[in-house]
Amino acid sequence: MFLPQLLDKAHSGQRLVALTCYDASMARLMASCGIDILLVGDSLGMTIQGHDSTLPVSLADMVYHTRAVAKGAAGQAFILADLNFGSYQSAPKQAFVSAAQLMAAGANMVKLEGGALFVETVRFLTRRGIPVCAHLGLLPQSVNTTGYRMQAKAETAAQQLLDDALALQEAGASLLVLEAIPAELAARVTQTLSIPTIGIGAGVHCGGQVLVINDLLGLTPTPPRFAQNFLHGQGSLEAALRAYAEAVRRGQFPGPEHSR
């Protein structure tokens, strides 16, 4: 799947369904279950490697897992790959070199975290043929500064997030992940932008949803409040994935209990 097909889905009113994915077998199953976006997330630092944050993940790690996921999906899902910590922050040219490796490994788009500081990086990448997904709200790569907690609760911070979102869109970002922000703010951002938003802990009013696959399967010892165990009560992994996709598309997930 390529970006125009994905955007056509979103602009037709369909909610986009995304999950993190790290290997070929899971990619094949997710694609067959109708998951639109397979996010090769730097969350693999915690889910696969056992770290307590995403920070130790290397570009080589991201390339390896992106290649595996792309092979498994075989063109049947959209591959979104994270730019890992330290691979893009110093300069737009550094970001391009890193992103080019992920695209060569099979990614259809790269994702980076941050607002106004990275507007020129987004512009630099998109003008050179690399689609970009921006990421605002809780930024896992900045956990040492922010911690894992709800962001943009004050009006000044909310306005800054909206301003950043507009600037990133103007610079060429095609998608925007909103993580751990108030549902009301996510709705406001979604209504203001012309590009789709993908929520995680941001309420039901985004244009789509993403979860970490380990949270969806109940494998996280202390899951975040916005997660739901979709494997519970299902007879198979396939059934759990299909239940998640259906719940997102019908606007049934996330519910009020998953929003703050």
Burial state string for 50-62 with b = 16 or more CB within 10 A and e = fewer than 16: eeebbbebebebb
Q: Which residue has the tokens 């956990």?
A: 143
Catalytic residue among 113, 155, 170, 179: 179
What local confidence, expressed as pLDDT, does residue 171 receive? 98
Q: Which residues pair with 211 in a beta bridge?
A: 19
pLDDT tens, 191-243?
999 999 999 999 999 999 999 999 999 999 999 989 999 999 999 999 999 99
What local confidence, expressed as pLDDT, does residue 255 receive? 84
Annotate the chain with three-state secondary structure. CCHHHHHHHHHCCCCEEEEECCCHHHHHHHHHCCCCEEEECCCHHHHCCCCCCCCCCCHHHHHHHHHHHHHHHCCCCEEEEECCCCCCCCCHHHHHHHHHHHHHCCCCEEEEECCHHHHHHHHHHHCCCCCEEEEEECCHHHHHHHCCCCCCCCHHHHHHHHHHHHHHHHHCCCEEEEECCCHHHHHHHHHHCCCCEEEECCCCCCCEEEECHHHHCCCCCCCCCCCCCCCCCCCCHHHHHHHHHHHHHCCCCCCHHHCC
pLDDT tens, 21-30?
999 999 999 9
What local confidence, expressed as pLDDT, does residue 1 receive? 83
**CA gyration radius for the chain?**
17
Domain-by-domain residue ranges, the chain? Answer: 3-258
Gap between the Cα atoms of 203 and 252, Å rounded: 11
Mean pLDDT, the chain, integer: 97
Rounded to an integer, what is the distance from CA 166 to the centroid of its chain?
A: 18
Gap between the Cα atoms of 70 and 65, Å rounded: 9
What local confidence, expressed as pLDDT, does residue 175 receive? 98
Say if residues 173 and 128 touch (Cβ distance below 8 Å). Answer: no
Fold entry, domain 3-258: TIM Barrel (3.20.20)
CA-angle at 174, arms to 258 and 215, nearest 5°: 30
- pLDDT-based confidence at residue 260 (cuts at 50, 70, 90): low
- Locate 88 and state its tokens: 């893009």
Gap between the Cα atoms of 50 and 68, Å rounded: 19
Report the candidate in 86, 259, 65, 72 with the shortest Cα–Cα distance to residue 178: 259
Q: Is 257 a catalytic residue?
A: no
pLDDT tens, 32-87?
999 999 999 999 999 999 999 999 999 999 999 999 999 999 999 999 999 999 99
All residues at 6 or more sequence positions from 30 whose CB lies less than 8 Å from its CB, including other chains: 19, 21, 38, 73, 77, 241
221: cis peptide before it, omega within 30°? no
